[in-house]
Amino acid sequence: MSTDLIMGIAAETMKVTLLVSAPVLLVGLVVGLAISIFQAVTQVQEMTLAFVPKIIAVMLALLFAAPWMMDMLVNFTHNLFSNIPNYIR
């Protein structure tokens, strides 16, 4: 197993991790920004106002993105396992 092969697997792993986590993180970021702007405009500084909508939005993002996320992870794992004989050489 060469260093280039290990670095290729590591790069692919990081790419898949970023792609799988991106929808949930982006939804949390957008909702958090919208809530922060709302709190700044109205001067309402309630702590639960920041957390509850973000939790709901992240859960909905997970619900809608779960099939795509699972497909990405299954494809990555399948490719990794099917190439095991190539890694041994």
Residues spanned by the domain of 16: 3-88
Q: What is residue 5's predicted lDDT score, i.e. its pLDDT?
A: 87
Answer whether 31's CB lies under 8 Å from 53's CB: yes
Q: What is residue 7's predicted lDDT score, i.e. its pLDDT?
A: 93
Query: In a 3-state reduction of DSSP, which class is residue 83?
Result: coil
Number of domains forming the structure of the chain: 1
User: Average pLDDT of each block of 10 consecutive residues along the chain (89 residues)?
Assistant: 87 96 96 91 82 93 96 96 85
Q: What is residue 25's predicted lDDT score, i.e. its pLDDT?
A: 96
pTM over 0.85: no
**CA proximity to 33, closest of 57, 64, 69:** 57
